[in-house]
Every structure is written in structure tokens, then in C-alpha cells.
Structure 1
Amino acid sequence: MLAPQRRARAMLGDTEELVDLIPAVDPERDHVRGPQEASVTVVEYGDFQCPYCGQAEPAVRDLITDTDLRYVWRHLPLPDVHPQARLAAEAAEAAAGQGKFWEFHDLLLAHQDHLKIMDLLRYADQLGLDTNRFHDELMDHRHAQRVADDVDSADLSGVSGTPTFFINGSRHYGAYDIVTLKQAVKTARTRAGLARIPQAAHEEGTA
């Protein structure tokens, strides 16, 4: 009988996975929930007006209770089908400038049918933001480039629809219900653990 580690390798194949995500997650730039040292990173390209992103949100909420997982949101507004998505993304960045990205993100996904400018200003007031600054930044499209950079990264990563998930840099092609995502996270965590074993052995051998 194969030892557990060898059996896992046989089932999962090579632990050196191709990375599909471009660029890699940068904690200095990206919006990140969860511990920096987590073994699994889930990146979602999302659109605040996309109903499928709204449907995926309960699964994401469940995922982020995992204390060994970090979650990243990147913007991919699709203005051809969701005309309010781009301004909503810029609004989330304006909120980020005042330290409230995730609170604003959560409000937007909870109220996807209410993303007009007056709605965005109301959410800013609800969160205690400086609404004059928030309003001026929206009107000046101060954060348009930040959103555009995310859109460019989606293009480089081969993403054209939302939501699209990447788990440890590899694109997730399955469904995004909680059972499927949790299984994908479990597999990624196992792969990450196996990948660390040769490195640990190498370090011991050179110590």
C-alpha cells in the first residue's frame, strides 16, 4: 500500500501547477481578506451588478471563514450588460481610500439593484465616509485607472466573464457553489502541502 503522501501525489499528479493569474497577488495593491501566510489564495474577478456574482457571494462568505485562506477581489465591470458596474467599482475604490473597501464591497453586492449615484452616496454616508470627498472623487473618476488596471489583468489572465475564480493562481473551471469551491480549495491546500515537502527536505539536507 502506498504511503499517504505518495498516494496523494498519485491522485493529484504533479504539484508544479501552471499559474494562470497575471499578475500574481500583491498585498500592497490588491484588496485582501484573510492572513497573508494562508496556504490557499482565492481571487475573484467580479462585477458588482452581475447577478451571478451576487449568487456566488454566499459561497464566498462561507469560504472566508476558513482561517487558512485569503480572498482577493479584482474588478471586472462589464458595462455593455451592466451599465452601473464601472461607477460602482470606482466607488468601492473611493471607499478604499478612506479605509472602507470591504464594507462598501459588501453593501454593493447586497444591493445590486441599487447602484445609481445617489445610492452610492447613501452607502458612503451610511459607512461614515467623508461624502464630499467621496462625491468629488466619483465625479472626477479619480479611481478609473485603478479599475482599468484590474480589467487589464483580467484580460492578461484570459478572463472575459464574471465571476471567475483563481485558486492558488490556477483558474477554477468548475461551478462556484460552496461544495465545489470548498473541494477545489481542499485540493489546492493538499497540493500546496505536498509542494512544501521537497523544499523542507532540501533545507534539512543543506542545514
Structure 2
Amino acid sequence: MSLKPSVNKNDHTQGNENADLVIVEYGDYQCPYCGAAYPVLKELMREFGSQVQFVFRNFPLSEMHPYAKPAAIAAEAANLQGKFWEMHDAIYENQQNLNELYLFELAEAIGLDISQFKEDIQKAELEEKVDSDFESGVISGVNGTPSFFINDKKFNGGATDLLQLIRENTN
């Protein structure tokens, strides 16, 4: 399966924007497997951040994970204040405490303007962004989280396999 649409300006990216190696993760903020992948992906970016562009797309499995979508919307709201990755990281680092109220604590902890944040999380376009990420995942053949794509091709493996692969191919 290949990634549809390809990485574009609506995506959240970090690392090297001109990298030959583009990794996309479809993730769910409440998924324990995504939580376990998070430190591995942090390690990957520490080692190869200058050679890799990393993209996160929302894939909340809402039926199983009731806080996944609120968390995704909270990260999108943080993005409006230029702090998407700070919120993304804070959620994964505190995943075991996740609930709707706790998202406000995290917003405060990363220094967001809280009244702005409260307004922003109500915005329909943030939910639309999360839904459109989710739909792109479905079209791209994502059926669980985390799911990874390397240069638009689905990668059949977890974060550890991904790090291993990149280590083998960049040294």
C-alpha cells in the first residue's frame, strides 16, 4: 500500500524538511503500542534527525480509546500556538494519566495561552483535520496503530524495526 495523500503542507513534520527519507506515523495518543513506540522514535530523531523528515498523522481509534480524539484535537489546538510537537510529546510522556481534563493541565505545562486553547479546541476545522488524517490512513491501508510509511510505502514493522532498518542503511 502507498501513502495517500503524500506528505504536504497540512502535515506536522520535524527533522530535515529536505530529507530523502520521509517517515510517516499514523498514531493514536491513547494506544499503548504508540506509547511504546514514542521513545524509540525520539531516539531515531536524535540519531538521524538531520537525515530524516518525520511526520505524524492522527489515527484515533475512538471506539477503543475514548481520549484519543480529544487528545488529537488538543494537539491540533496547540499547533495553532506553534506548539504541536510539545503537546504531542507531553501527551505520550503522560499517556497513563490521559483524560479530557488532564489535557488542560498539559496545555498549561507547555505554556499555552489557556483561554485561547479553550476556544481553539471547539473549532470544527480541528476535528476536520483529525478526521481527514484518519481518512487518509484508511485509504492508505492503515488498520492499526502505530502504522509507518517510508517514502510513501507502508512499512510492515514496529518502531524498533524501523530504527534498526535506518541504522543499517545509513551507516
Identical aligned residues as a percent: 40
For the residue of structure 2 that corresponds to 1:70, the secondary structure is strand
Structure 1 residue 160 displacement after superposition: 1.7
Q: Which amino acid aligns with 2:37?
A: A
Cα RMSD (Å) of the superposition? Answer: 1.8
The equivalent residue for 2:32 is 51
For 1:150, the aligned partner's letter is D
5+ residue gaps, structure 1: 1-18, 191-207
Report the TM-score, using the length of structure 2 for normalisation.
0.92
Alpha-carbon offset, residue 186 of structure 1: 5.5
Name the amino acid aligned to 1:109.
Y
Match of 1:164 in 2: 147
**Superposed displacement of residue 129, structure 1:** 1.1
> 1:25 and 2:11 equivalent?
no
Q: Which has the higher contact order (CA 8 A, sep 6+)?
A: 2
Amino acid at match of 2:39: P
Question: TM-score with structure 1 length normalisation?
Answer: 0.76
Residue in 2 that maps onto 1:60: 41
Instruction: Deviation per CA, 1:81-107: give whole Å up to 9, x if none.
Output: 100100000000000000000000000
> Larger C-alpha radius of gyration, 1 or 2?
1
Q: Is the 8 A contact 2:146 2:158 kept in 1?
A: no
Aligned length: 169
3-state SS, counterpart of residue 95 of structure 2 = coil
Partner of 1:147: 130
Q: Paired residue for 2:16, among 5, 10, 35?
A: 35
Structure 2: 5+ residue stretches without partners: none
Per the alignment, residue 61 of structure 2 pairs with 78
Counterpart AA for 2:38? E
Selected match of 1:184 from 161, 165, 171: 165
* TM-superposed deviation, 1:136: 2.1
Aligned match for 1:107, one of 84, 90, 108: 90
